[in-house]
Amino acid sequence: MTKRRDKRLMGQAYWLALWNHGLTGNNPSVGCVIVDAHGTVVGEGVTAEGGRPHAEQIALDEAGEKARGGTAYVTLEPCRERSTGEDACSKRLTEAGIARVVCAVADKHPKGAGGFAALRAAGIPVLVGIKKHQIAPLYEDFFVQHG
């Protein structure tokens, strides 16, 4: 993948995140785009109204087996832990066979932080900071209240 393609697909994830911004309860609105190993978009998701399901879960459900070997573009660090006891997004990405994760913003929330470490421990390369300056303002209020 090229840096230009990474920026374009992160921009697509950003627009998804904007759709439910302010409608996701105590959770932030996250956008996620999954591309297959050939670079074709196979799944998209945005955190649902009320905060569940998470964007990654929706995008992975849409992508199915096509996610294996692909890349996930996520506006906020995939969570390390879920308050509901469900599988964390970092675990879901790993189990789906995602080969690479591109993310804009690291999560400062105690249950979110650590998702990058979990992905890297599973051998998945993580690129952080693509379009960070554009996307970070979406999460400022969330971090003040929950970070």
pLDDT band at residue 82 under the 50/70/90 scheme: confident
Nearest CA among 81, 80, 78 for reference residue 60? 78
Structural domain containing residue 77: 3-142
Residue 108 lies in a domain: yes
Residue 109's pLDDT is what?
87
pLDDT for res 112: 83
147 domain residue, yes or no: no
Determine the Cα–Cα distance for residues 50 and 69; give it in Å rounded to an integer: 31
Contacting residues for 29 by C-beta, under 8 A, at least 6 apart: 17, 18, 19, 20, 21, 22, 23, 46, 47, 55, 138
Give the full edge-to-edge strand order of the sheet including 100-105.
Answer: 41-46, 31-35, 71-76, 100-105, 126-128
- Mean pLDDT for the chain? 95
Residue 17 lies inside a defined structural domain of this protein: yes
How large a percentage of the chain has pLDDT more than 70? 99
Total number of domains in the chain: 1
Q: Cite the active site residues.
A: 56
What pLDDT, in 10s, does the model give residues 109-147?
887 899 999 999 999 999 999 999 999 999 999 998 876
- The DSSP code sequence of 87-132 is PPHHHHHHHTT--EEEEEE---STTTTTHHHHHHHTT--EEE-TTH
Q: Is the pTM of the predicted complex or chain greater than 0.85?
A: yes
Q: How far is Cα 120 from Cα 133, in angstroms, rounded to an integer?
A: 24
Tell me the CB-side half-sphere exposure of residue 128, using CA atoms within 13 A.
14
What is the domain-level CATH number for residue 117? 3.40.140.10
Is 34 strand, coil or helix? Answer: strand
Q: Give the pair of three-digit tokens for residue 122.
A: 């599973």
